[in-house]
Structure 1
């Protein structure tokens, strides 16, 4: 019986304990969450931050770095966000318990407190219950360096690239250490190469080891990057100095000579001596006048009446009397100023204190400038080659109609314009730009070939051997075609868009570059030169064309139809002009005046090169293209002046070589 009662008692006590525990837990769950965050529930980041509260609240350069290191060592993903908030003054603390938070302003003076780790709301507060943490500039600089270091070693490649770009835009001396650590950990080869280059740029500026700076500077002797020159040039900045004795050799950048050096004027030099206390002040006319007015007494200045001060001689005499009485400072004469200046030495010294760094910088800049000069020559050559290929492409059709047939076709430019508009129309229906250009080339040839055939059949065939009437007739056709284009397409420029693979430029270095469109036009020019040479020299059409050109009657007696050959030849030249229009339209504005911009250069190319010779057309295009670019190099802001001088030169050239660079030989040369 006793055992049964004991068992019942134990069971009762156990049940009572469980009920009490359950009730306590339920009660705790029903209670509201306190705004205070117990230490036991804080994240590791929050715990570290609160442990260093006083140093964060009123941090200094000496105390902030250990706090930053401790925060980063937590490994919390929110650590970088906390440092950003600290740097940008977005941290606050609650006055009641010093809890550091970020805030979100609701309305008026009401704020929502946000957890620094999760960013979730943890309570409410009014303005008087919280206070902003405002780090000074030194602490913000430390935070910036720490953020760079953390982002440079981020697991995300895009973050590392963005961080490196940001660092390159605004480098600081304290970025050098984190950058070197990041280089050792970087796994991406391309990004690592960029890091190494930037590290050398920072080393030559900020490293404390002179030998390391010199080595970094010398490593850029073949680098033509603008950023290199932008950092090297300030390292040779100077300041103006003055001394009463000549400076010792090797202690100055250069000696300044008054009168022969525009950087230092006579007045500025003398003012430096006055500021040093080595010379009396040079009294200006305004100061003298003011002194005379100040010391007027009884209608006189000294012994001279005011009414007598109308001349400079009288004013000088009155001022001299004031000087004798000690009422005004003495004014040194021009001769005295000159003599004083002769006794002083004016010179410039480098701001960079290390002679080794200065010498390395000068040698590296000299090497770079030499390479830049040669690169500019190469770039000018490529520009000339590009322009020559454009002129050749525009003139190659004219080389047939004018050079071979002898027909002065003033509407040749309008065939170029028609080809460009053909490309534009095709792009309205074919949105794939690569395909549209591939379709536009044969379409432009077909359109302008037919237009050329029609023009030859209707007009040109009736005007052979009548050059003046041909010129006037084709000029009229040119005006009519321009007006027709305006009526159809309007006066606004139309876009002929190039494919994506032609965007950008072929960049060799920071000096030499050429757009891919120009490269494509050069390739197209070479292709058409080869095709035209093959057509005229290796095909039956070419043989018959040359036969009709040299002796139409003899060709006719051999069974060749001169009318048919003339028609096909004129159509071929016009068709090539249409293809040239597609190529030119890729970089020029497609308007009704497009062809007029190239007709003069086309005729000059054919005439200068040698009429009737496609090799001459090539030589003429090269001569005109290089000549124009060479003239533009002397005055790059005035292209019109360059074209004017080029035309004058060509007129003079034709006076001495009227048959062109490559003149025809034999019977055709006398026609």
Structure 2
């Protein structure tokens, strides 16, 4: 009975033992290539391993890629290893069991180079697509996206149905569509995939269409048999020299002899003060040089020179075409139609994206300029230190963050505190300096310019010359991505919302409060307002403080995405004045219109000439000069008595 049991057990173990040796046996068939792999020879090995379907192949590929495979010198068998106090423990590649322990010199580490490891990674992706670990599956899909190849299509399609993660499944389907468009053997499937690409705006999809529509130049004696894109006309599509260079490359025609080659050939064949029978002294003449060279060519000393007549004859003989690399004409026609559709939609979305950028920039300019619009409109003061109030607000936000580490809480504290600080600074400036210089614009300009320099130097003394960070809260990180073309950062959206809130708040103050009524009265007619019991000096002080406080809040908002330095106000003072002047002095709606016009114009110029941002500033100033010539009082001019001041 025991004997029978033993025999049955042995029979049951036979297939297991045979299976346990399958991977090692397969590896031994390619022993030399695996031991010394190269990028050119490793392909057949990887194909054999993948085709085997052995469950131990993925682990071997990972170990091979990670340089964790060793070959025993005495018999060439491959093992995984583990260092022990006695040497190296050799682990069977099939069973995972430790076979024996050997001296470190008895086994050689297999070290594939970078190219081989890249090929192994491509093969390994096929197994990782269905790995239980979501991270590994995601990494595999990312690897396919980085290096799309036709061999990945079948494994990718096979892994889609069983993918449990919804987001990753959608990504797999997207990549499978791209791969089908390029590599599927079924033309109908390719066309269907191309049509799907035409409905999206992804950069990957556009790249796939561009790869399908890749072209090359071809020279033929008659009509081409390949997928023709266009027949090229010499003089329009190709120059004579470019066309002949193609003939040299593709048809083996003799190369043109350059002036330098001709000169070197003549120098090498000087004999008795002559070259080709022509004295060296006469070789300053280009015609003599050509004659001497042709004489040398007749004697076989140098290659014959290609003449203009020979070039004309060659160009007349051949047809120059631009042909698709893709052979299927139906596929390229579908891809061309899809690409045209995508380009149209990309253009529309680029315009939308540019509009969002312009609105974002306009909101920044509005925040920076609205305080100046109030003080300039009511008081007629050209405040060159307005930019420094923006800088003070930004530094206030920075100081608050040193004491309040929570960025959301610090922002909530910084906004009102910046208003208070800059409001107080504005009131102090008005009481100490500005009040003595009313109706003296030149002296006011010089005084505020001096204050601007003094405030900058004070900021340098306190905070140093290095830029200080004003960190935005985590919920403002990143961007709102509408599609692959249109996106806008959350900080810009927040600034836009803040600009709208300030617009509503200022309109409420000016239209619905007593202070606003008195401000409008002083703006329209200071003397009449004074006769009605309004104190113009007090209103001017409050107005200057309000404008300065708004600049401080603008500084906090601007500091969230711009550098916070002592000179940051200088970056916005010019745009602020331009916004106020273009929009209409002393008018909130005018400031909004001016900011929108300047932001749109600047972004438009930057889009037309993205490599030169200085050009945008130059053209902007020229545009404003011309605009003021036709509308000197701005887009929305004041009405009433103040309009004539």
TM-score (norm 1): 0.84
CA contact (8 A) 1:240 1:347 kept: yes
Change (3 A) 1:405 1:510: same
Deviations 1:206-241 (A, max 9, x none): 111111111111101132211122222122222222
Q: Please give the alpha-carbon distance, in whole angstroms, between the structure 1 residues aligned to 2:269 and 2:466.
A: 75
- Are 1:375 and 2:352 counterparts? no
- Are 1:605 and 2:579 counterparts? yes
Partner of 2:241: 266
Q: Which has the larger radius of gyration?
A: 1
Partner of 1:181: 158
Q: Please give the alpha-carbon distance, in whole angstroms, between the structure 2 residues aligned to 1:135 and 1:494.
A: 48
Change (3 A) 1:272 1:539: same
CA contact (8 A) 2:50 2:57 kept: no
SS at match of 1:241: strand
Aligned length: 624
Deviations 1:365-420 (A, max 9, x none): 11111111111111111111111100100011111111123222221111111111
CA contact (8 A) 1:536 1:546 kept: yes
Structure 1 stretch 650-659 or stretch 140-149: which is displaced more? 140-149
- Are 1:525 and 2:503 counterparts? no
Q: Please give the alpha-carbon distance, in whole angstroms, between the structure 2 residues aligned to 1:644 and 1:119.
A: 72
Structure 1 stretch 354-363 or stretch 433-442: which is displaced more? 354-363
Change (3 A) 1:554 1:147: same
- Give 1:635 deviation, angstroms: 1.7
Q: Please give the alpha-carbon distance, in whole angstroms, between the structure 2 residues aligned to 1:598 and 1:152.
A: 53
CA contact (8 A) 1:397 1:577 kept: yes
Partner of 1:593: 567
Change (3 A) 1:119 1:472: farther
Match of 2:139 among 135, 159, 162: 162
SS at match of 2:320: strand
- Give 1:148 deviation, angstroms: 2.2
- Give 1:603 deviation, angstroms: 1.3
CA contact (8 A) 1:383 1:514 kept: yes
- Are 1:203 and 2:180 counterparts? yes
Q: Please give the alpha-carbon distance, in whole angstroms, between the structure 2 residues aligned to 1:298 and 1:419.
A: 86
- Are 1:619 and 2:593 counterparts? yes
Q: Please give the alpha-carbon distance, in whole angstroms, between the structure 2 residues aligned to 1:559 and 1:343.
A: 98
CA contact (8 A) 1:49 1:100 kept: no
Deviations 1:531-558 (A, max 9, x none): 1011001111111111122223322332
- Are 1:424 and 2:401 counterparts? no
Q: RMSD across aligned C-alpha pairs, in angstroms?
A: 3.5
- Are 1:401 and 2:375 counterparts? yes
CA contact (8 A) 2:227 2:326 kept: no
- Give 1:561 deviation, angstroms: 2.3
- Give 1:450 deviation, angstroms: 1.1
Q: Please give the alpha-carbon distance, in whole angstroms, between the structure 2 residues aligned to 1:625 and 1:265.
A: 47
Partner of 1:444: 418
Match of 1:82 among 50, 56, 60: 60
CA contact (8 A) 1:419 1:577 kept: yes
CA contact (8 A) 1:631 1:642 kept: yes
Q: Please give the alpha-carbon distance, in whole angstroms, between the structure 1 residues aligned to 2:249 and 2:462.
A: 77
Q: Please give the alpha-carbon distance, in whole angstroms, between the structure 1 residues aligned to 2:26 and 2:70.
A: 14
Pairs within 5 Å for 1:447-462: 447-462=421-436
Any stretches of 5+ residues in structure 1 without a counterpart?
A: 1-38
- Are 1:647 and 2:624 counterparts? no
CA contact (8 A) 1:237 1:350 kept: yes
- Give 1:80 deviation, angstroms: 2.7
Change (3 A) 1:370 1:273: same
Partner of 1:222: 199
- Give 1:61 deviation, angstroms: 6.8
Partner of 2:339: 365
Deviations 1:435-477 (A, max 9, x none): 0000000001111111111122222222222222222222222
Pairs within 5 Å for 1:127-138: 129-130=106-107
